[in-house]
Structure 1
Amino acid sequence: MKKLLILLCCVLPGFFARAAEEPAPSYLELRPVIFSLTMIMMHDVVNPPAASRYYAYCMAGAYEIVAQNDPSVTGLGKFVTSYPAYTIGKQPGTYDFRVAAVYCVLETGKLMIPSGLQLQEEQAKFLKTLRKNGVAQKSIEAAVKVAEGMAAHIVKWSKTDNYFKLSALRRYRPLKGEGNWYPTPPAYMEAVEPNWATVRPMIIDSCSQFKPAPPVNFSKDSTSEFYRLAREVYEVSVKPDQEKLNIAGFWDCNPFAVTTSGHMSIGFKKMSPGGHWMLITGIACKDAKLSVEKSVVAHLMVGLTLMDAFISCWDEKFRSNRIRPETYINRYIDPRWQPLLQTPPFPEYTSGHSVISTASAEVLTYLFGDNFRYTDDAEVMFELAPRTFTSFRAAAAEAAVSRLYGGIHFRDAIENGAATGRELGQFIVEKLRGSGVAGVW
């Protein structure tokens, strides 16, 4: 009997460890839920910085539900200092906290995103699927109650981050000066979120904590370094090979591009860069066969990273306020030239995709390890073929250089943006490591 007890003591811990690593049931997979959020944001044409904010808050509540039910998961307040504590009350009967976490993502999105009420349909589908899979009605009701309480708390917290003060700030006007950004064709849209740096970050200390190296000085001189940068963008676009075209298109991620036909303007909606990386996170979670708990952790960490990376990048964009390649090339090299991708409506330096992609890749590498091979099919809905990457860092490097191929960024904005994103991402990794969030699963 004594030997049997010793054997059980040795075997059972390993059994429970393996049980905890069992992949999520298909009906609890997060990727379809994140996709639903993304589609609603596409419908609303949510700009990239704002989209990152929605992803961060939508995942925060789910994470806290997991943390309060799984002792191995570090509480949100350990690494997000602005988070106000909230304790889930006791519920009548038992419930699956994983169900509550997934439902909370949809509930938070419903409350926060402008057209979020459309997520009620997704919630109804989710509940129907739970019933089909034998989840008891009382358990479902208890999980929903927990999710609704947490989502309400998260929304209340979100209202303290200065986002709702943005509309009261002074409207942006393009600055005079040959080297400054100016709205570009065909829509000549006004600057997107010029005051975004005033939004409270999640993990980094401040919007200006990670200032990039200064941009190359503006010059019209054909022998200058700046002219060389512009000439490189121009020459890449003259006869791009098919692979460069594929890379530029795959990482376009322009939430709202406009094309004209005669007197008619036609808009095309796509997901934001942050949306692309959230879907990449879902792909990695599925490929790694992660549990619901770890999948929630991964999505939150990327969501927080995206939000902070956009705050940091936008701080620099409206400080340096640099001219776009399209404007410079049309003025000083070729008045008929057009970039492959449509120029986004905000200053050029640094490249946002370079910053947020590199930062996200650092966090994902910490969680999943380097050399994590995966196939990214996030852009299939836009009739773009999947691309396979040997690591998250390789994907980020491709996302960064895509802006050169697309004709919307100079090389120094790409390289210095990637350097800033790497530094920011590594800072977040150290914060997570110090707070007990384990890496390399």
Structure 2
Amino acid sequence: MKRLVLLFISCLSFTASFAGKKQVPAYLELQQPVNAINLVMIHDVISPPVAARYYAYAMLSAYQLVAKNDKEMVKPAAFIKSFPEIKPPAVKSYDHRIAAVYAIYETAKNMLPSGFMLQDDENAFTKQLLKNKIKQQDIDNALQAAVNVSSQIIGFSKIDNYSKLSAKLRYTPKKGEQYWYPTPPAYMEAVEPHWNSIRPLIADSAGQFKPKPPVEFSKDTTSRFYALAKEVINVSANLTPEQTNIADFWDCNPFAVTTSGHMAIGFKKISPGGHWMNIGTLAVKQANLNFDQSVLVITSEAITMMDAFICCWDEKYLVNRIRPETYINRYMDITWKPHLQTPPFPEYTSGHAIVSNSCATVLTFLLGDHFAYTDDTEVPFGVGPRSFTSFMQAASEASVSRLYGGIHYRDSIDEGNKQGVAAGNYIVARLKQAGVKPVVN
């Protein structure tokens, strides 16, 4: 685990380039707490929608502290629905930057199932501060402020209905040839079938960004649906090395299972949300943003992901469409297997398409539409790095990777792209209305 931590952090730091004087000292860079949270999520096998929720509240803790101390920063209540009045810390003077970083750790520590693992990261952070000649009293004051605000943000998280999910009835796959059914090799149960009951942070409702209806299910060999499945087969049979690399780079399957005889072996990876969070942290570092600007960008991205996943999961379980692997094995080729392992939830629309496009839309608003960068998020998992000329180019590649991987039909990707852009545009509009401005012109 320690080897993975070191590799993960070192790989995510070598691509950043700086113009002029460095604005954020190393001990305040957001890559550190985000990477630490990623590693705990990988350990816990946190599903994509749940991971996005944790990122959102952890970053909101940091944002609240920044907004309280930076007069130019828009208050979270201006764009977060029903955001509570946060009582100020008892300590009057503190470094809000140190407090914000510690609050990210603290919030995740108290929300994640294995959050206790972040205690070592908190301790390492305070030691890092001392090595940088930060006075103990200043550290104590900042940590006191962080704990105070973090506890209130966690209190706010408790009204989003997450605690009610465990009381929901256990999900049973719908009967009917057109509906989703668990896929090999593990035949895992459906992931978060009731996620649409989670309260969004900015969006009006889970069903707000409706895509058009999917292509109608059919077994007729002359039908549009059959043609969609046939395309999946044809693409998978003729993958180029570049297409294979793209599929692997954007796999982001938190828990893939392979079998050897009677033994099942699980492989843990970063989630789609974790991948985009890392894109955000390397982007703010490359742009040489100051600390407060960096928190604004990463928080905006995190809350976008949370709402995008809620809307995506609403559509997935409403349509409940069969995955290509199941359809192809039943009606076309019993021996066919996708390049990537099929994730355990319904097909329409593509989650990677929605989340990638919504994040890319918000990042483009904040950082510009020609932001070139190199993404090495997947290097610790044996893939990459890959370079992009813009966030939207990356989102487009992430979306089509699901066709190359054999886990989505073309219309699910195309409509997921539109759904993601619609969600991103709505959040950008709300941010603008609140007074948030681009940080890079």
Q: Same fold (TM over 0.5)?
A: yes
- 2: CA distance between counterparts of 1:227 and 1:82? 46
The structure-2 alpha-carbon separation of the partners of 1:51 and 1:281, relative to structure 1 and needing over 3 Å to count, comes to same
Q: Which amino acid aligns with 2:429?
A: E
Cross-structure match for 1:44? 44
Q: Is the 8 A contact 2:316 2:349 kept in 1?
A: yes
Alignment of 1:419-438 (within 5 A): 419-438=418-437
Cross-structure match for 2:15? none
- 2: CA distance between counterparts of 1:101 and 1:166? 30
Whether 1:71 and 2:71 are equivalent positions in the alignment is: yes
Whether 1:414 and 2:440 are equivalent positions in the alignment is: no
Deviations 1:321-380 (A, max 9, x none): 000000001011110000000000000000000000000000000000001000001111
Cross-structure match for 2:26? 26
Alignment of 1:326-341 (within 5 A): 326-341=325-340
Alignment of 1:226-241 (within 5 A): 226-241=225-240
- 1: CA distance between counterparts of 2:393 and 2:418? 14
| 2:138 alignment partner, SS class | helix
Cross-structure match for 1:81? 81
Larger radius of gyration, structure 1 or 2?
1
Alignment of 1:138-177 (within 5 A): 138-177=137-176
Q: 1:53 Cα deviation (Å)?
A: 0.2
Q: 1:271 Cα deviation (Å)?
A: 0.7
Q: 1:95 Cα deviation (Å)?
A: 2.3
Cross-structure match for 2:16? none
Whether 1:372 and 2:374 are equivalent positions in the alignment is: no
Cross-structure match for 1:343? 342
Q: 1:440 Cα deviation (Å)?
A: 4.5
Deviations 1:131-181 (A, max 9, x none): 000101000000000000011001111111100100101111111111100
Q: Is the 8 A contact 1:373 1:388 kept in 2?
A: yes
Structure 1 residue runs of 5 or longer lacking an equivalent are: 1-20
- 1: CA distance between counterparts of 2:105 and 2:66? 15
Q: 1:31 Cα deviation (Å)?
A: 0.8
Deviations 1:53-74 (A, max 9, x none): 0000000010000000000100
Q: Which amino acid aligns with 1:283?
A: L
Q: Is the 8 A contact 2:312 2:351 kept in 1?
A: yes
- 2: CA distance between counterparts of 1:368 and 1:22? 18
Cross-structure match for 1:15? none
Q: 1:82 Cα deviation (Å)?
A: 2.0
Cross-structure match for 2:199? 200
- 2: CA distance between counterparts of 1:368 and 1:61? 22
Whether 1:397 and 2:396 are equivalent positions in the alignment is: yes
- 2: CA distance between counterparts of 1:83 and 1:188? 40
Which TM-score applies when normalising by structure 1? Answer: 0.94
| 2:208 alignment partner, SS class | coil
- 2: CA distance between counterparts of 1:440 and 1:105? 22
Cross-structure match for 1:264? 263
Cross-structure match for 1:6? none
Structure 2 residue runs of 5 or longer lacking an equivalent are: 1-20
- 1: CA distance between counterparts of 2:363 and 2:230? 35
Q: Which amino acid aligns with 2:135?
A: A
Cross-structure match for 2:310? 311
Cross-structure match for 2:284? 285
Cross-structure match for 1:247? 246
Q: 1:310 Cα deviation (Å)?
A: 0.3
- 2: CA distance between counterparts of 1:81 and 1:186? 41
Q: 1:401 Cα deviation (Å)?
A: 0.2
Q: Which amino acid aligns with 1:84?
A: P
Percent identity reads 55
Q: Is the 8 A contact 2:89 2:148 kept in 1?
A: no
Deviations 1:197-252 (A, max 9, x none): 00000000000111111000000011100000000000111121100000000000
Q: Is the 8 A contact 1:309 1:424 kept in 2?
A: yes
- 1: CA distance between counterparts of 2:379 and 2:159? 37
Q: Which amino acid aligns with 1:355?
A: I
Alignment of 1:349-388 (within 5 A): 349-388=348-387
Q: Is the 8 A contact 1:365 1:440 kept in 2?
A: no
Q: Which amino acid aligns with 1:76?
A: P
- 2: CA distance between counterparts of 1:175 and 1:385? 39
Q: Which amino acid aligns with 1:188?
A: Y
Q: 1:22 Cα deviation (Å)?
A: 5.8
Q: Is the 8 A contact 1:63 1:300 kept in 2?
A: yes
Which is further off, 267-276 or 94-103? 94-103
Q: Which amino acid aligns with 1:32?
A: Q
Cross-structure match for 1:225? 224
- 1: CA distance between counterparts of 2:89 and 2:308? 34
Q: Which amino acid aligns with 2:253?
A: N
| 2:355 alignment partner, SS class | helix
Q: 1:87 Cα deviation (Å)?
A: 3.0
Alpha-carbon RMSD: 0.9
Q: Which amino acid aligns with 2:154?
A: V
Q: Which amino acid aligns with 2:437?
A: A
Q: Is the 8 A contact 1:433 1:439 kept in 2?
A: no
- 2: CA distance between counterparts of 1:146 and 1:134? 20
Q: 1:89 Cα deviation (Å)?
A: 3.1
Whether 1:61 and 2:61 are equivalent positions in the alignment is: yes
Q: Is the 8 A contact 2:162 2:198 kept in 1?
A: yes
Cross-structure match for 2:13? none
Number of paired residues? 420
Q: 1:90 Cα deviation (Å)?
A: 4.7
| 2:69 alignment partner, SS class | coil
- 2: CA distance between counterparts of 1:23 and 1:375? 21
Deviations 1:15-70 (A, max 9, x none): xxxxxx96211110001210100100010000000000000000001000000000
Q: Which amino acid aligns with 2:334?
A: P
Structure 1 runs of 4+ with >6 Å offset: none
Q: Which amino acid aligns with 2:211?
A: P
